[in-house]
Amino acid sequence: MQLDRKKIIPHLKQKSETFLYPTDGCVYSIKEFAKNKKNLLNGYEQGFIEKNLSLLNKSIPDYLTSALTAVEPKNHCKKIPVKGVGSRSVFWLKKKLKFKGCKPKPDLYFPNEQLDFGQTKMTTTKIIFGALSAENVIREILAYCFFSENKLPIFQKPYIIFEYKNNKKIIGYCLVFHSITEKRLESKEFFGELTIKDLITISKIENNFGIKILKTNEADFFGISNDWYSKNKSTLLFKMNFNGGFRGILNSNLGNDIEYKNKFYICDFDTFKIIKIPKKPTQKFVDNFCIWVLTEILKTSPIILNYVDIEKATLKIWEIYKKKQFTLEVL
């Protein structure tokens, strides 16, 4: 699938100071939406929604009974000052609310790289750019249920949902979260005059020759230590993956890391999926599982891999595999 990325570029940047405006559409509670749209998930995923319905917000606050959008209408109307977040979301500081997907742009799409379980080649699909699809929203809700059930740290709680319409046609959804802040770790990045290519080259030289070229390291970009970051993120990813939860290639990136009051969180789950982890997995399942795990680790933050001697770890795993394989053949 080929998409014209030039159409997207003008919409990537958003003003820091912007507004929310009333628009045509409907407002749903999280619980109501989950009941109506859970059929977009597979049966196993639906189970997580059904088991956790009691955790989902069932009310709509008085000040959000009408749909709001960050797309400025032609006619002047009442508006709410908010902060721009990324290319399609805003943050209402006073109410501590994040509006994800509040800039619907009909017929504007973004490429999404997808690796299905059991596959070794990625496929390119498309997702609507300025807003969310119904499936994107229900997968965010699914992640909230999954994290709640597995007692994993949650930073954003689904609040309500806007359904946008244009001439009675649904053109997208906005998921409103209760969120303490929208300052992510990437906002603390500082690379000086070095490009990403420069940093990779320097890092490779440092690792190969055991020398230190830069006085600084990635930890200084975030104001936290590499040890703290790697320990907290790898622990969270381990618990998420080994309970069957995966964010997918689109959302497993550094930009979705949050540090708040010395606690680590991840966010953005609109491509989140759950698989059932069997008690006695087959070799095929283990192979497919490892591909998904490694793909998410490599996409999320290679800094974690600096704490693992890949060559030694690989040889150790291979020796264990050969020993077990030999035992099975003898039996």
Looking at the DSSP bridge assignments, the partners of residue 69 are: 21
**Does 220 score more than 90 pLDDT?**
no
d(CA 125, CA 120): 16
**Tokens representing residue 69 in the block:** 């959008």
CA-based nearest residue to 270, from 127, 96, 148, 149:
127
**Does 328 score more than 50 pLDDT?**
no
Q: What is the pLDDT of residue 96?
A: 95
Contacts of 174 (CB under 8 A, 6+ apart): 67, 68, 69, 99, 100, 101, 102, 104, 131, 132, 161, 162, 164
Predicted confidence (pLDDT) per residue in 129-184, tens digit: 889 999 999 999 999 999 999 999 999 999 999 999 988 899 999 999 999 887 77
Total Cβ atoms within 10 A of residue 126? 12
d(CA 37, CA 161): 12
Q: What's the sign of the alpha-carbon dihedral 176, 177, 181, 187?
A: negative
Predicted confidence (pLDDT) per residue in 271-303, tens digit: 999 999 998 899 999 989 988 988 888 777 656
What mean pLDDT comes out for the span 61-88? 88
Per cent of the chain over pLDDT 90 is 46
| C-alpha separations of 24 from 9, 29, 30, 171 in Å | 26, 17, 19, 11
- Between 13-17, 99-103, 247-251, 279-283, the lowest mean confidence (pLDDT) is in 13-17
**Does 309 score more than 60 pLDDT?**
no
Place of tokens 């996409």: 299
Predicted confidence (pLDDT) per residue in 103-135, tens digit: 998 777 777 778 888 888 888 888 788 899 999
d(CA 227, CA 206): 18
Q: What is the pLDDT of residue 55?
A: 94
Q: What is the pLDDT of residue 326?
A: 42
Predicted model pTM: 0.81
Exposure string of 9-26, with b = 16+ CB inside 10 Å and e = fewer, is eeeeebeeebbbbebebe
